[in-house]
C-alpha cells in the first residue's frame, strides 16, 4: 500500500521557499546585500543587467566564507548567525533564517566565490537550479564574497511570466539599494545597470555627509524641507529627518523607517506617524521621513514574516506613544525662524535662508510663486471692490520701540485686549517674518524681512493662532464627561469585551464609562460631553478598534480638535478685513511664537518666502 504522505524533495522544498523569499530580482538583491552587511562589509558593489533578470552580481569586502563552509552555505536552513533559541529571541543580524541562498539557487544559475584571510586562495561553488552535489573549485578573489545570479526563474517559466518590464524591475531593485544605503551610512554602495553607473555612494560618518546621502537618495528638495530630530528615553532612541508638513506627497513613496537598522513597514509605526502629522497635513497628503528607531533586540521580534518587512514589539503601546510624542513635539516646535537640516550649505542652501513654505515648497502643483490673485483660502475669491490704500503710510516701517508700546491693538482680532506676545529684538534686528508693508486684496499681508518678501494668508495664519490657543485652554480643563440619560447597549465580540475590561483606565481617560453586561455585550454609561450628540455606538467601536490594535486611541482628541478647528475657523479674521499696520505686525509676531504656525488647521500653508535672488530673477536683474 502506497503512502499518501511523502516528504518533499530538497529541490521542491527550496522552490516553495523561493516562492516566499524570491518574488523578483529586487528580492534577490535584498537578501544578498543583507548577507554582505552581516559579514561586516564596508563596501558593496552591485552590477545588474536587464533589470536583474539576466544578471545580478554582488561583491563585498566582508569577512568571507571558509572553503569547508562554502557548499553548506547553499543548503537550506544553514546559517552562521544563530545557534540557539536565545539567539533567535535577540536577533541583531539582518538575515538569520538560512533560506536565502538555497532559495535563490533553486530558481537561477548561481555562482558563489569567497575568500578569507587565513586561506591561500579563494574558492568557488556553482549550482544550476537542481538538486546536485556542489562542486568546489579554486578561484581568484580578494578577501570577501561575490555572488553571481544569472537567468532568474529560468527553470520556472510560470514565475518568469509574472515579471514586469526591465524598467519596472530595475526600479524595484534600485529602491532596495536606496533603503539599505539609508540604513547603513558607514558602508559605501555602488550600482551599475547595463554597464552604466547609477549610484556611487561614499561612507558618511558626519551629519553633513549623512544629509548629503539622504539628499542623493530622497532628493535635495526633501533635505531642504526636513528637520533633523533626535529623541531618547531609557531603552528607546528615535533619530533622523522628518519632512515639513508643507513638503507633503500625494503618495506614501518617501517614507523610510528603520528598526535597529532593518527597514520595516509596520502598521503600528505608520499609525503613530500619521497621528503626529494629523493636525498639520493637508487632506489626502502623505508625510515624508527617514527615521531610525533603536531599542534592545530582545524587545522586538523580527521573525514574524518571511521577508522580515514586519516586526512585533514587546511593548507596542510604549513604542507607539514614544514615536508619536517625539514627532508631535518636533513638528509643534516648527516656527518661521526654525532652521532645517544641518548640512544644507553643502546642498546649496544657505543657513540664513528662511524656512520655505507653501508655494515654494511645491505644495500646489502648477501654481507659481507670484500667483497673488488666487485665494489660498479656498473660500472667497479676491473681492471686486478694491480700495487702494495709502502707500505712503503703508510703507512706513515701525521701530521695535513703537511696536512694544502698542499693547492692546490686537484685541480687535481676538475679541479682547491682548498684548503683543513676543518682545521685539534690539533696534535694527529684523524678526523672521519681518515688518508688514501692505495688505493685498484684503487677503494677504505683504511683509519685508532680511531675506526678501514674505506673503502671509492672514485668515489661515490667524486661524492657526486661535486654534492653538483654544487647544491649550481645552487641555488645561481636561476631557469633561457627560452621563447618558439612557445607557446604550452594544453587541461586540468576546475579544473586544475582554479588552474593555482590561483597558478601563484607557477608556476613563477618554471620558467613557463602559461596563461589561455579558460575554458579548457592553453598556455605555458615560461619554465625552463635547461628543454627546455624536454617533456614540460608532465612536465606541472605533475607539475600541484602536485600543485592540494599538493599545490606545486618539479619536476623542481628534474629534475634539476637529470641533475646535471649526470654531477657530469661524473666529478667525475673515478675508477682505482691512487691518492696520499695528494689527498686521502683531499677527506676524504671534505667528513667530505659535506652534505649527506654518500651516492652518486644514494643513494648508500660511506663508511663503520670496528671496531677493528670486525677485531679481523675476525681473532679470544682473543678467
As a whole number of angstroms, the longest Cα–Cα distance in the chain is 106
Q: Determine the length of the chain.
A: 623
pLDDT score for 97: 54
211-332: which CATH architecture? 2-Layer Sandwich (3.30)
Rounded distance between C-alpha atoms, residue 323 and residue 232, angstroms:
10
Rounded distance between C-alpha atoms, residue 89 and residue 303, angstroms:
9
Q: Which three cell numbers stand for residue 169?
A: 524591475
Q: Which three cell numbers stand for residue 57?
A: 552580481
Rounded distance between C-alpha atoms, residue 348 and residue 223, angstroms:
11
CB-based contacts of 92: which residues, under 8 Å, 6+ apart?
A: 260, 297
pLDDT score for 12: 67
Q: Kindly report, residue by residue over 380-405, the tens digit of the pLDDT.
A: 322 222 222 322 233 334 444 444 44
Closest CA to 599 of 565, 564, 559, 571: 565
pLDDT score for 127: 87
Burial 403-414 (b: 16+ CB within 10 A, else e): beebeebbebbb
Q: How many CB atoms lie within 10 A of CB 439?
A: 22
Asked if residues 96 and 79 have their Cβ atoms less than 8 Å apart, the reply is: yes
Asked if residues 339 and 211 have their Cβ atoms less than 8 Å apart, the reply is: no
Asked if residues 104 and 31 have their Cβ atoms less than 8 Å apart, the reply is: yes
**Average pLDDT taken over every residue of the chain:** 78
| Lowest mean pLDDT segment, chosen from 120-129, 186-195, 455-464, 561-570 | 561-570
Percent of the chain with pLDDT over 70: 74
Rounded distance between C-alpha atoms, residue 605 and residue 454, angstroms:
13
Which H or E run contains 544?
A: helix 536-550
Write the burial class of residue 500 (CB in 10 Å: 0-12 exposed, 13-18 middle, 19+ buried).
buried
The strand pair at 196-201 and 135-139 is best described as unpaired
Per-residue confidence at 414, pLDDT binned at 50, 70, 90?
very low
Rounded distance between C-alpha atoms, residue 603 and residue 106, angstroms:
51
pLDDT score for 406: 38
Q: Kindly report, residue by residue over 350-373, the tens digit of the pLDDT.
A: 333 333 333 333 332 222 222 223
pLDDT score for 383: 26
pLDDT exceeds cutoff 70 at 143: yes
Q: How many CB atoms lie within 10 A of CB 155?
A: 16
Q: How many CB atoms lie within 10 A of CB 9?
A: 10
Rounded distance between C-alpha atoms, residue 225 and residue 246, angstroms:
8
Helix 166-183 vs helix 25-38: angle between axes, to the nearest 10 degrees?
20
Asked if residues 326 and 278 have their Cβ atoms less than 8 Å apart, the reply is: no
Q: Kindly report, residue by residue over 203-239, the tens digit of the pLDDT.
A: 999 999 999 999 999 999 999 889 999 999 999 999 9
Question: Which DSSP state fits 589?
Answer: H
Rounded distance between C-alpha atoms, residue 383 and residue 390, angstroms:
18
pLDDT exceeds cutoff 80 at 81: no
Rounded distance between C-alpha atoms, residue 476 and residue 484, angstroms:
24
Asked if residues 49 and 102 have their Cβ atoms less than 8 Å apart, the reply is: no
What pairs with residue 342 in β-bridges?
none
Domain boundaries, the chain: 10-201, 211-332, 365-379+392-623
pLDDT exceeds cutoff 80 at 2: no
Q: Kindly report, residue by residue over 149-188, the tens digit of the pLDDT.
A: 999 999 888 888 889 999 999 999 999 999 999 999 999 9
Rounded distance between C-alpha atoms, residue 493 and residue 368, angstroms:
54
Burial 194-232 (b: 16+ CB within 10 A, else e): eeeeebebeebeeeeebbbbbbbbbebbbbbbbbbbeee
Give the HSE-up count for residue 227: Cα atoms under 13 Å, Cβ half-sphere: 26
CB-based contacts of 60: which residues, under 8 Å, 6+ apart?
A: 36, 39, 41, 43, 44, 45, 144, 145, 146
Per-residue confidence at 77, pLDDT binned at 50, 70, 90?
low
> What global pTM score does this model have?
0.71
Q: Radius of gyration over alpha carbons of the chain, in Å?
A: 30
3-state secondary structure string across 143-183: CEEEEEEECCCCCCHHHHCCCCCHHHHHHHHHHHHHHHHHH
Most confident option among 266-275, 401-410, 562-571: 266-275
pLDDT score for 18: 62
In a 3-state reduction of DSSP, which class is residue 416? coil
Asked if residues 144 and 59 have their Cβ atoms less than 8 Å apart, the reply is: yes
pLDDT exceeds cutoff 80 at 78: no
10-201: which CATH architecture? 2-Layer Sandwich (3.30)
CB-based contacts of 477: which residues, under 8 Å, 6+ apart?
A: none
Residue with the bigger pLDDT between 188 and 262: it is: 188
Per-residue confidence at 549, pLDDT binned at 50, 70, 90?
confident
Closest CA to 145 of 57, 48, 72: 57
Residue with the bigger pLDDT between 431 and 550: it is: 431
Residue with the bigger pLDDT between 578 and 560: it is: 578
Burial 162-186 (b: 16+ CB within 10 A, else e): ebeebeebbebbbebbbbbbbbbbe
In a 3-state reduction of DSSP, which class is residue 27? helix
Residue with the bigger pLDDT between 571 and 56: it is: 56
Q: Which three cell numbers stand for residue 204?
A: 558618511
| Domain 365-379+392-623, CATH class in plain words | alpha beta
Rounded distance between C-alpha atoms, residue 281 and residue 220, angstroms:
21
Rounded distance between C-alpha atoms, residue 229 and residue 330, angstroms:
7
Rounded distance between C-alpha atoms, residue 61 and residue 77, angstroms:
24
* 348-to-421, 478, 620 alpha-carbon distances in Å: 35, 47, 21
Amino acid at each position: 500500500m502506497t503512502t499518501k504522505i511523502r516528504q518533499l524533495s530538497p529541490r521542491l522544498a527550496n522552490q516553495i521557499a523561493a516562492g516566499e523569499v524570491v518574488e523578483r530580482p529586487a528580492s534577490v538583491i535584498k537578501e544578498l546585500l543583507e548577507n554582505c552587511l552581516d559579514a561586516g562589509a564596508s563596501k558593496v558593489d552591485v552590477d545588474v543587467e536587464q533589470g536583474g533578470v539576466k544578471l545580478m552580481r554582488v561583491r563585498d569586502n566582508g569577512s568571507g566564507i571558509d572553503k569547508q563552509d562554502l557548499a553548506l552555505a547553499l543548503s537550506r536552513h544553514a546559517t552562521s548567525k544563530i545557534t540557539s533559541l536565545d539567539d533567535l529571541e535577540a536577533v541583531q543580524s539582518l538575515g538569520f533564517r538560512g533560506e536565502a541562498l538555497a532559495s535563490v539557487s533553486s530558481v537561477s544559475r548561481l555562482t558563489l566565490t569567497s575568500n578569507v584571510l587565513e586561506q591561500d586562495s579563494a574558492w568557488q561553488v556553482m549550482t544550476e537550479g537542481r538538486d546536485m552535489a556542489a562542486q568546489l573549485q579554486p578561484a581568484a578573489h580578494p578577501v570577501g564574497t561575490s555572488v553571481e545570479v544569472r537567468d532568474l526563474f529560468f527553470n520556472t517559466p510560470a514565475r518568469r511570466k509574472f515579471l514586469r518590464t526591465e524598467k519596472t524591475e530595475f526600479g524595484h531593485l534600485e529602491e532596495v539599494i536606496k533603503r539599505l544605503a539609508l540604513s547603513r551610512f558607514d558602508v559605501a554602495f555602488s550600482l551599475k545597470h547595463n554597464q552604466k553607473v547609477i549610484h556611487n555612494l561614499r561612507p558618511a560618518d558626519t551629519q553633513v555627509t549623512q544629509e548629503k546621502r539622504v539628499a542623493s537618495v530622497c532628493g535635495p528638495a526633501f533635505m531642504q524641507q526636513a528637520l533633523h530630530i533626535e529623541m531618547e528615553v531609557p531603552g528607546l532612541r528615535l533619530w533622523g529627518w522628518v519632512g515639513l508638513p508643507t513638503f507633503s506627497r500625494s503618495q506614501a513613496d518617501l517614507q523610510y523607517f528603520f528598526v535597529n537598522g532593518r527597514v520595516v513597514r509596520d502598521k503600528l509605526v505608520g499609525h503613530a506617524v500619521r497621528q503626529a502629522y494629523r493636525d498639520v497635513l493637508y487632506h489626502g497628503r502623505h508625510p515624508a521621513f527617514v527615521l531610525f528607531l533603536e531599542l534592545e533586540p530582545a524587545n522586538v521580534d523580527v521573525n514574524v514574516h518571511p521577508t522580515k518587512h514586519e516586526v512585533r514589539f514587546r511593548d507596542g503601546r510604549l513604542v507607539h506613544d514614544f514615536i508619536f510624542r517625539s514627532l508631535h513635539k518636533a513638528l509643534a516646535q516648527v516656527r518661521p525662524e526654525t532652521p532645517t537640516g544641518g548640512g544644507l550649505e553643502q546642498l546649496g542652501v544657505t543657513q540664513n535662508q528662511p524656512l520655505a513654505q507653501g508655494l515654494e515648497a511645491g505644495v500646489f502643483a502648477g501654481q507659481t510663486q507670484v500667483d497673488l490673485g488666487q485665494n489660498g483660502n479656498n473660500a472667497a475669491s479676491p473681492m471686486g471692490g478694491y480700495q487702494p490704500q495709502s502707500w505712503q503710510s503703508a510703507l512706513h516701517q515701525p521701530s521695535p520701540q513703537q511696536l512694544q508700546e502698542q499693547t492692546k491693538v490686537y484685541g480687535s482680532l481676538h475679541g479682547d485686549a491682548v498684548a503683543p506676545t513676543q518682545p521685539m529684538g534690539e533696534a535694527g534686528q529684523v524678526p523672521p517674518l519681518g515688518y508688514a508693508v501692505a495688505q493685498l486684496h484684503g487677503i494677504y499681508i505683504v511683509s519685508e524681512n532680511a531675506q526678501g518678501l514674505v506673503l502671509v494668508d492672514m485668515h489661515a495664519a490667524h486661524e492657526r493662532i486661535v486654534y492653538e490657543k483654544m487647544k491649550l485652554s481645552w487641555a488645561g480643563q481636561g476631557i469633561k464627561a457627560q452621563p447618558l440619560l439612557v445607557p446604550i447597549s452594544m453587541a461586540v465580540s468576546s475579544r473586544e469585551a475582554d479588552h474593555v475590561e482590561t483597558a478601563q483606565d484607557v477608556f476613563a481617560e477618554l471620558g467613557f464609562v463602559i461596563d461589561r453586561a455579558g460575554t458579548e455585550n457592553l453598556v455605555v454609561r458615560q461619554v465625552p460631553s463635547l461628543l454627546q450628540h455624536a454617533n456614540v455606538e460608532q465612536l465606541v467601536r472605533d475607539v475600541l478598534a484602536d485600543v485592540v490594535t494599538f493599545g490606545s486611541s486618539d479619536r476623542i482628541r481628534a474629534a475634539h480638535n476637529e470641533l475646535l478647528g471649526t470654531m477657530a475657523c469661524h473666529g478667525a479674521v475673515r478675508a477682505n478685513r482691512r487691518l492696520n499696520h499695528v494689527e498686521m505686525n502683531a499677527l506676524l509676531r504671534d505667528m513667530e511664537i505659535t506652534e505649527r504656525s506654518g500651516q492652518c488647521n486644514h494643513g494648508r500653508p500660511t506663508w511663503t518666502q520670496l528671496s531677493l535672488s528670486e525677485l531679481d530673477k523675476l525681473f532679470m536683474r544682473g543678467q
